[in-house]
Structure 1
């Protein structure tokens, strides 16, 4: 398969050649030129900026279809498609003023439409917006998005939760590649750093049609940092300081581009002491250190576009076990601790034909995870190596119908090098084939798709039969057919309805199939079940949106039915002084949604009020509640935007009040959680002092030092509260 894909990439580059160009002018509604407008061709990873006269130009463009986005702060984004390029092309654009958020191109869905044109409701957030909230990690920022939560172990480890589903039920993509890092484990976090990431897209609901197994609950799709505009060089340095953990977050990056070649590199280092709770005590060994490096090189011409990216991430994480013990501000982790090395290599290619194109994404991930109990000799060490491929052919547009067919797969090996085994040595192979079509007429869009997948898992025997840690050999195969159907319509210019029905699936993971031993952190002896069946779900989503120039309103509702939901249940036995839990299955259902609005009154365009409420309920067929379901949350933000003469631009100040309610709907192995309210303040903008300019941000999180324990905190069973007051100061210099 590798040779075939490589031959396609090399062979097709000689079939088509063109020297097409495009130019134009961007103006406002008064026909005045707009300088500084970003013009970006995402498939070419190529961008430019309008000059003082509002003019822009591109050269070396391919034949066929070209998609461009025009974005400018304070104006509504415009997405334009040129169906067939000529030798010389002219495209003039008029941007309309808009105080509300820009309409973004969605990359995680197959046809890359603007969100306003998309059949699926996808949440899009820039990393800059999340960082302005003063959160210390990427997962903390994600948890501020309605419908997204986190299972946390202190401040260092966070696992994403989408509408009550987590672990192997949520798929994570970065650099166009699915992230595989032993995500089944309770203490295995996201493993990504926000440096070098442009934005995140959240698909809330089954996305197996696009991504195969493990996208049963949803997808987090991280878009990498864009390259510099053609013929420019950019460099920046950012620094943050966190008072609670005496933490530091440093990042430095540079990037440059010509008309054809592009290059970027970014390094980041995070270091944090143990976090303080509201009474001033520190949670022993909740400290951590992280080193991250990202680089990329790209080339595009009239025939193809290719981007090679590499990400190295090193984590040194303390595992808090003693609660409030030794008090220290040291950043050197104690035992027990985790050491994680992650390498991600991706190659993203687009090959252009006259009226069609071929996308080929290849990825390789090496995840080396060690746990050290009381010495620097790893008691547990797992090496996970994953090769991904994804090829999609976009057929020529037939009238108003767009069609895509593709193949997708994965080859994965797991190897144990320590004395302890959580899962056996194993090999996993995935293969999927799919097709989807998009039909658009007037203000209506209909989208449908079908997919078939096969996953095979083989594992080695290990240990002595009848004793803890014994794994019998495994040779299993799982198959699934999935489909999706979505419809979007505009009742009026400002009122949009989306209705989607989709199925998803998840094959059992190795821990569920093979476990045989004490699961640290839960104090349970867990026994796997080699006869587990594939989880299969059907979810219905309804989205209603209203938008005008001063008001936005949305309501999202969902109902998710899961056949063969996998969970652990007590057997009544005791082994090694631990209660025995066995993996079993039952049908389950989850339902709920999100509702909110954004209002800024005229003529007070500088004033914004946003509010949102989210809820989810999860039950088994016998009406017992599912575990790890997030509590209901009501989030309110009052935000102002301002400029102070010529020295302070794009200023903002915000007051956020986040109320989390009591969680009493718990499974038989959980305890109820009390509600709490957190108050957060934010301030920032761009400071200009002569020729020097820098971005400044100041955040006060949990301003009143609330003493609380989140329901999804893994330290809850030990009665350890979450982080107390945290003041965050950040600066960013464009060098």
Structure 2
């Protein structure tokens, strides 16, 4: 007991001494030396910062000892980035910022070194969610599909999964709240289960990220950044509302967050409701309706040498599974067949700061409950082909769902940031998951199973000089899958027990060169892997939404890939240009193909393996000519080609796409209108003639989109508004990655979306 008390006194003394460490300084305009007000000064690694006052002064208290990156950002100025060593007592850093028409850069958090976009060796795409929402996308995933190199496999409007350079599902890892999202990604007929409310920004790693994240990241990573807590000693709140004319979609929410000196909290509620969407022909797609409820909470504590936070997200989605264009209705309650999906995401992150190093511990739990209700379970409703809402309410609570799967996942990620040595920044860590899948319905897609995964990694960033940066790393992963038998041996539908181990070594090397002040080149070479999932190994059966009878293959081996990425960027005050190219070789690519046979009048598909290659890239420019800095002309083009070694095209490869946008932005000092923006864009998707064995070609089409928005001040409240129009010409088209394509069902027609967000 005595030793415990002495240890506690030592820890408190250490924290008390460190709490005396402060950083202060003044921020000004480098051209005229005028003080800059409202500049954000921020330590990304500490997640701590301040705002400059009217005299340009700022102060940040209670800083731990050590060397940390610091970022200062302000609209109309180039983002400042540097490092500073915090010593005992008072520290000073004055910052001069250079005026620039280039948009503010953001700190990338999906890679471990907390660098700005321009400083990162690995090319990472960044987008603020507010920017994606202003384009009128009805869901989070649809909005992400606007990022170059990213597409969406969709089943109507409410169900979608991201596609990164032709790879999707278990080949693209999704992170939310700092933990990997596990919700049966093998199934394309359900979405992410994450609502856009409380998501601040999105980062996309386009290429193998197995070094950082292990299996399932061989195609890339979609990293969702949650909203930050309020600044110290402040309280913020907002309410928001949006309406979509096509789906009569209503989205509403409210949030509040408050921070004291050490403790902080946030709370956010959101709800979404859509009716069946209408195609360009005006016909509504029966049972494409969906609704969603979402709750997010967070609690944080921050002292000098310790930062800890806990976040919780509950999401319930009721998703109709569309199969035809039939009964025309504006009911908001999904008809049979439909899914009810509950997601519980609980995460904690703790950072302990030592002298020049820190320990980062992230723990997470995800509970995914997926239920599907099908027509044959409720034959009393088949005669009319319609389910009345009062009857359906009882069905939602019906425990005898045809499919009832419960997936529980515990994961951990422990990283130690070593002291900076001779310009080397090094991180070592261990990551892993423990996952159980259980079935409670009369149908199963995959058997009950336990999956255990552990990986060890190390990566380092070497800053040679102002123009040259290197990054490299190594990783080892081990995965064990233990599935139980299902059914009776010798009878139809029997699935044998399975116990498999998968191992993989992976590495990555990257080099960034600042060829000139405006020109930057990057080259990255990385390997990645993916262990076969339970559906590929063990599945035997069909269900609503697949339109096929799937048979797994217990003899599948790891997918292993090698990708080379080349990125070139030119950026000055008036013009930006980028060129990204990649070549991705995949050994033992797993794919599904028809066998030519039928079971219960449903086509049988088998899982096979064959080497594959994907290659392509993105090219684009952004013009904002001086002195017309309010004018933005943007264009981007993306292409992907995917082939099996036999020469046959891979399925679900997105068509080539060209997007041209004219955008204007005005920042006003008017007491009423603070800023405004407007855009017009033409999105041209070309014919997709390179199709898989069971796909059909898709003709090209062009969509005209437009919108405007801004911030206004009314009754001492700031309000953000936007009005956007998608598919203005009401084009009749079917996207190549639409899972409703085989039934000839059109994508969404003309839609207008109005949204407003009021800051309290």
TM-score with structure 1 setting the length: 0.97
**Aligned pairs for 1:235-384 within 5 A:** 235-321=237-323, 323-374=324-375, 375=378, 376=395, 377-384=400-407
Q: Distance in 2 between matches of 1:11 and 1:562?
A: 56
- The within-5 A match list for 1:380-395 is 380-395=403-418
SS of 1:141's partner is helix
Deviation at 1:91, TM superposition (A): 1.4
Q: What whole-Å deviation, never above 9, does each CA across 1:149-169 have from its counterpart, x for those lacking one? A: 000011000011000000100
Specify the alignment match of 1:573 in structure 2.
597
The corresponding residue for 1:586 is 610
Question: Which residue does 2:384 correspond to in 1?
Answer: none
Instruction: Work out which of the residue numbers 171, 177, 185 in structure 1 matches 2:187.
Output: 185
Deviations 1:88-127 (A, max 9, x none): 1111212222222212111011211111111100000011
Shift of 1:85: 3.0
Return the alpha-carbon distance in structure 1 between the equivalents of residues 661 and 711 of structure 2: 21
CA distance in 1, matches of 2:594, 2:154: 24
1:47 Cα deviation from its structure 2 partner: 3.2
For the residue of structure 2 that corresponds to 1:68, the secondary structure is strand
TM-superposed deviation, 1:468: 4.3
**1:129-278 alignment to 2 at 5 Å?**
129-278=131-280
Q: Distance in 2 between matches of 1:244 and 1:13?
A: 59
1:509 alignment counterpart: 533
Report the CA distance shift for 1:284/1:538 in structure 2 as closer, same or farther (over 3 A).
Answer: same
Contact preservation (8 Å) 2:594, 2:694: no
CA distance in 2, matches of 1:470, 1:222: 40
Match of 1:684 in 2: 709
- 2:387 match: none
Do residues 663 (structure 1) and 688 (structure 2) align? Answer: yes
Q: Greater CA deviation, 449-458 or 55-64?
A: 55-64
Q: Deviations over 1:557-612 (max 9, x none)?
A: 00000000001233343322233221110000000000000001122111100000
Aligned partners of 1:607 and 1:640 also within 8 Å:
yes
- Give the whole-Å Cα distance in 2 for the aligned partners of 1:523 and 1:395: 52
Determine if contact 1:151/1:714 at 8 Å carries over to the other structure: yes
Q: Residue 129 of structure 1 aligns to a residue in which SS? A: helix
Partners of 1:13 and 1:392 lie apart in 2 by 22
| 2:77 corresponds to | 75
Question: Aligned pair in 2 of structure 1 residues 689, 518: CA closer, same or farther (>3 Å)?
Answer: closer
Partner of 2:563: 539
Conservation of the 8 A alpha-carbon contact between 2:450 and 2:482: yes
User: Quick one: distance in 2 between partners of 1:670 and 1:350?
Assistant: 49
Which of 385, 405, 409 pairs up with 2:428?
A: 405
- Of stretches 55-64 and 512-521 in structure 1, the one that deviates more from structure 2 is 512-521
- Equivalent residue of 1:407, what SS? strand
Distance in 2 between residues matched to 1:489 and 1:467, nearest whole Å:
63
Distance 1:82 1:90 in 2: 10
Contact 1:424 1:461 in 2 (8 A): yes
Partner secondary structure for residue 131 of structure 2: helix
How far the C-alpha of 1:513 sits from its partner, in A, is 0.3
Measure the CA separation in 2 of the matches of 1:15 and 1:512.
Answer: 56
Partner Cα separation in structure 2 for residue 261 and residue 654 of structure 1: 41
**SS at the partner of 1:616?**
strand
Query: How many Å separate the matches in 1 of 2:499 and 2:12?
Result: 44
Question: Contact (CA 8 Å) 1:16, 1:354: kept in 2 or not?
Answer: no
CA contact (8 A) 1:13 1:351 kept: no
Q: Deviations over 1:201-244 (max 9, x none)?
A: 10000000000000010000111101111111111111101111
**Unaligned stretches of 5+ in structure 2?**
1-6, 379-394
Deviation at 1:682, TM superposition (A): 1.0
CA–CA separation in structure 1 for the residues paired with 2:544 and 2:529: 28
* Aligned counterparts of 1:41 and 1:259: Cα–Cα separation in 2: 16
2:645 corresponds in structure 1 to: 621
Instruction: Give the 3-state SS of the residue equivalent to 2:118 in structure 1.
Output: helix
Please give the secondary structure, in 1, of the residue aligned with 2:367.
strand
Where do 1:415-430 residues align within 5 Å?
415-430=438-453
Structure 1's 631 and 15: CA in aligned 2 closer, same or farther, altered over 3 A?
Answer: farther
State whether residues 408 and 431 of structure 1, in contact with CA within 8 Å, keep that contact through their aligned partners in structure 2: yes
Aligned-partner Cα distance in 2 for 1:249–1:114: 33
Of 682-691 and 200-209, more deviation after overlay is shown by 682-691
Partner of 2:724: 699
Is the aligned partner of 1:552 residue 2:553? no
Cα RMSD over matched residues? 1.6
Cα distance, 1:466 vs. partner? 4.2
Q: Which residue of 2 aligns with 1:436?
A: 459
**Segment of structure 1 superposing worse, 62-71 or 375-384:** 62-71
Hey, what's the Cα distance between the residues in 1 that align with 2:142 and 2:538? 32
Contact 2:592 2:605 in 1 (8 A): yes
With over 3 angstroms needed to count, the CA separation of the structure-2 counterparts of 1:522 and 1:175, relative to structure 1, is closer
* Correspondence for 1:499 among 519, 523, 527: 523
Distance 2:737 2:610 in 1: 22
In structure 2, what is the Cα distance between the partners aligned to 1:140 and 1:326? Answer: 26
How far the C-alpha of 1:10 sits from its partner, in A, is 10
> Does residue 521 in structure 1 map to residue 545 in structure 2?
yes
Could you say which residue in structure 1 is the equivalent of 2:671? 646
Partner of 1:3: none
TM-score by length of 2: 0.94
Correspondence 1:10-49 to 2 at 5 A:
16-17=14-15, 18-19=18-19, 20-29=21-30, 30-49=32-51
Range that drifts further, 246-255 or 522-531:
522-531
Contact 2:593–2:694 at 8 Å: present in 1 too?
no
Q: Which moved more, 1:86-95 or 1:655-664?
A: 86-95
- The 8 Å contact of residues 64 and 86 in structure 2, kept in 1 or not, is answered as no
For residues 674-696 of structure 1, the C-alpha deviation after alignment (integer angstroms, 9 at most, x for no partner) is: 11101111101111235233111
Contact 2:293 2:315 in 1 (8 A): yes
For residues 399-431 of structure 1, give each alpha carbon's deviation from its aligned partner in whole angstroms, at most 9, with x where no partner exists. Answer: 111111110100000011111010000000000
